[in-house]
């Protein structure tokens, strides 16, 4: 059993199922938000899809537990294993809230339906290069935060320059009404000016 669980075939099928489930979740949420805006009910096939994939992932989990036993909890991939266990457990608990046998405390788990979205994260487990990329990004977070801090400092400095120029312009004897309106719209205060600087460097100046 251990050989089958760790085989390329088993791993490939598991990875494919995670990818398909992730795509279905995206399609479902895209349609659901539109239906909610139109005052329509939930999709009829959404619960069936959730049921099928939850049961499939539960079976996969049982295979892994049977093959690895205690190593499932303390082995090399114990973090991913615990993550899978929690996701599957909450998924099964959520299914129980949709039956007539639901108990009160399980109904409180209904809010955890969003945990199925975290199944998308499981894609990282099956693709080594993607996992390495994610770990590299995480390890660079400190440097990225300092880079954003430096960028924020630069935007603040330029915001002060723009505010100074805007103030001097508005105190001139002749002021163009259109320019005054633009200053009022984009540079009316320090925070708004910094936001306008951010919009300018990020291509989002059309937000307003």
pLDDT of 23 > 60? The answer is yes
Q: Exposed/middle/buried for 196, CB within 10 Å: 0-12, 13-18, 19+?
A: buried
Please report the pLDDT score of residue 117 as a whole number: 60
Give the model confidence (pLDDT) of 60-84 as tens digits: 889 888 888 888 888 887 777 888 8
Give the model confidence (pLDDT) of 123-143 as tens digits: 666 666 776 777 788 788 888
Give the model confidence (pLDDT) of 162-183 as tens digits: 888 888 888 787 778 888 888 8
- Contact between 81 and 109 under an 8 Å Cβ cutoff? The reply is no
pLDDT of 107 > 60? The answer is no
**Residue whose token pair is 């312009």:** 169
100 backbone dihedrals φ, ψ, rounded to 5°: -75, -10
pTM for the complete prediction?
Answer: 0.54
If you average pLDDT over every residue of the chain, what do you get? 77
Distances (CA, A) of 76 to 68, 69, 72, 139: 11, 13, 8, 20
Best CA proximity match to 22, nearest among 72, 57, 59: 57
């Amino acid at each position: 059993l251990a050989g089958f669980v760790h085989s390329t075939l088993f791993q490939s099928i598991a990875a494919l199922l995670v990818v398909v489930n992730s795509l279905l979740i995206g399609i479902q949420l895209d349609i659901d938000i539109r239906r909610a805006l139109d005052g329509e009910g939930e999709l009829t096939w959404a619960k069936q899809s959730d049921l099928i994939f939850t049961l499939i992932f539960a079976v996969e989990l049982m295979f892994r537990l049977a093959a690895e036993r205690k190593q499932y909890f303390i082995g090399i991939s114990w973090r991913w294993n615990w993550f899978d266990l929690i996701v599957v457990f909450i998924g099964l608990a959520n299914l129980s809230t949709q039956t007539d046998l639901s108990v009160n405390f399980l109904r409180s788990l209904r809010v955890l339906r969003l945990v199925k979205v975290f199944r998308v994260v499981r894609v990282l487990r099956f693709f080594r290069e993607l996992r390495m990329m994610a770990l590299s990004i995480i390890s660079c977070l400190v440097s990225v935060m300092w880079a954003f801090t430096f960028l924020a400092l630069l935007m603040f400095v330029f915001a002060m320059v723009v505010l100074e120029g805007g103030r001097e312009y508005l105190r001139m004897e002749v002021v163009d009404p259109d320019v005054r309106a633009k200053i009022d719209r984009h540079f009316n205060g320090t925070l708004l000016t910094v936001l306008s600087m951010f919009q300018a460097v990020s291509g989002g100046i059309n937000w307003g």
